[in-house]
Structure formats: C-alpha cells, structure tokens
Homo-oligomer: A and B are copies of this chain.
Amino acid sequence: MSELRLDPTTREWVVIATERAKRPRDLVSRAPQHIPEAHVAECPFCPGNEGMTGGESVAYPDPATGLWRVRVIENKYPAVRRDGSAERFQDHPLALSVKGVGLHEVVVESALHNRYLAQMEDDEILDVVRAYRDRLQAMYALDSVRQVIIFKNHGPSAGTSLEHPHSQIVGAPVVPWHLRHQYDVATQYYDERGHNLYQDMVEFELERKVRVVNATESFVEFHPFASRRPFETWIVPRTASASFAIVSDDHLRQFAVALRDALRRLFVGLNNPDFNHVLHTAALGDEEEPYFCWHLRIYPRLTAVAGFEIGSGIHINTSVPEDTARFMRDVDTGERRQ
C-alpha cells in the first residue's frame, strides 16, 4: 500500500507509490553513454570561442596552464537583463507586471567540453562553487535584484540546450512566492519549536540513518523523508546558516567535496543520469536569520511529471527513499576517502 508523506519544508504531501515502486536498480540507465570530445570547435563555451559568448564577469585560472578553468559570462538569451527599473506596472487589478530586470549568467564549469562535476578534483569543483558564492554576493549588490537562483540542468530531460558543462545564476527582481513560502514554513517552525527546521532535519536523518547516503564533518547528504522524485538528494550543512553568500572558504571546500561525492554516486550508480540541482539560500537581507539554512537539492530526471503533479502539487514518487539511499550508500565511487 502506498503512503503519503508530508514534506516539512513545504507542508506539501508526496505519494510514495509502493504499488508502482521500482527497485533502485530498475532505474539505472542501460543506454550506452554518449561521451563527448574534450574540445568541440563550434561550442561557444570551449576555449578559443570566448568571443562568441556574452560578457565575462569572472574567470578563475587553471594554475597548471594559466588559462581559465571556470568562467562566468552573461547568458546570451537571458530571462532577465540589467537595464531598467523594477517598478511594478499595473493597469488592472488582475494584471500586475514588472520588467525582466536583473542579471542572468552562465558558469562554464570547465574548459573541457566533457569534464563533469562528478569527475573533478577538489580544486576544480571548488572553483565552481566559489563562482556560485561570489556571483551570489555580487548580484545581491545590484539594485534590481531581490533573489538569486543558482541551478544546473544536466542532460536533455533536465532542459539543457548546450552540452558543455555549465550552471546558471539568475538574479531576479522579485522573491518568488515558492521560496517565500519555504521561508515562512521555516519561520513558523522556528517560532513554534524554537529550533532551526533544517538543523532538526539533519539531526533526525542522522539519528534514523536509513536515508543518509554520506556524512562528513560539516555536511549531510541524504534522500529526504518526503522525496518528490526517485534518488532526490539533499546536501545540508550540519550547522545551520541562512545564506550561501556568507559561507566561509573552509566550508565552501567541504561543500565542494560533498557535492562531488553526491554527483559521483549518481553518475556511477545510475550511469550518468539527467538531473537538475538547485541551491536554496536566504532572501537578500536575511543572511543572518536563525530560521533558515542554505542547502542544495539534486533532482535526477528519471521519471515524468504528469497531470496529477501539475494539478495537485503532489508528486508521485515510484521509489522508496530508504531503498534508494541504501543503493547509493553502496555505490563504489572509487575515491580513496570512501
């Protein structure tokens, strides 16, 4: 019999559909992997084609070559752009709008066309998450930006249009209602229980152990109690801190290693699945608030979202988080530290 579980961060139900449940190994792709070349002449993100991209805001050099290793550029087809005012426009009570002001950037994660986060050395992936943090800080300094969304689309099912490994950062002129709701839920929890919701969640998962994939000194990687999708993975700091914008260099390095571990397990265990990841962080001005905690959510795109999900907001997850977490714990990532 299936079970509905309540996600404590959104108060939304999820169906864990045991009647339709697939064993974790049934979700492993058997498709032969398309491994791209290291350099593709016509790829706008490959070295030598820097002139094909939007303006560069930051580049971190590769110590071995002196050339760039991570590069942040303006998206050529932006969802929002710098010019103009974030004043609202309303000519009818049911027609409120604002110009698409803000900043939309792309983080080119490697000079190599085929170098995935899952395969990187510590210093390489550290540069990627450093770009996340530094651009987050920079975007919050812009007048027009109220919320920054940092995300990655990997593979066609995840909405990638370009193969070269990259993430995206959008500085939006509004706090999305979806995120405001998550802050409100965490605030109410804090007001009622006197604790940080995310820290309590981490402690709960560490105590139960069954959904934990990996735990390091500062981060816990787990499949949440109310996972929306098979193999949904969250990486949460052990000690709550509202904003990724103020993460220390030491924590940033530990986060980079935890992220690589999570992505490598998915890459090896599921045969390079399509996935999205999204960084959740406090709204501008709430960096020091005690109620929230920044974290990263990884959503492998193994199953379709259909009418039930769109209409009800309830996801039907055809696998059981306790089973998928056990499967991921057992993946041999080939790392010494495992």
Contact = CB atoms under 8 A, between A and B. Distances in A.
A11 B306 CA distance: 23
Contact of A177 (B13, B147, B279, B305): B13
A44 to B, nearest CB: 16
Interface stretch (A2-10, A55-63, A286-294, A324-332): A2-10
A48 interface: no
A6 B94 CA distance: 8
Interface stretch (A29-37, A80-88, A124-132, A214-222): A80-88
A280 B97 CA distance: 25
A324 B151 CA distance: 29
A84 B1 contact: yes
A248 interface: no
A106 to B, nearest CB: 12
B310 A276 contact: yes
Interface residues of A, number: 76
A92 B278 contact: no
Contacts of A51: none
State how many copies of this chain the complex holds: 2
A26 interface: no
A312 interface: yes
Interface in A123-172: 147, 149-153, 156-160, 168, 170, 172
Contacts of A13: 174, 176-177
A200 B96 CA distance: 15
A334 interface: no
B20 A77 contact: yes
A179 interface: yes
A17 to B, nearest CB: 5
A237 interface: no
Nearest to A78: B19
A1 B77 CA distance: 10
A2 B83 CA distance: 11
A152 B156 CA distance: 24
A225 interface: yes
A1 B81 contact: yes
A13 B160 CA distance: 22
A99 B310 contact: no
A99 B17 CA distance: 10
Contacts of A200: 93-94
19 contacts: A1-B81, A2-B99, A3-B97, A4-B98, A5-B97, A10-B177, A15-B80, A19-B79, A79-B308, A94-B201, A95-B225, A149-B308, A150-B311, A151-B307, A151-B308, A170-B312, A176-B313, A276-B310, A277-B307
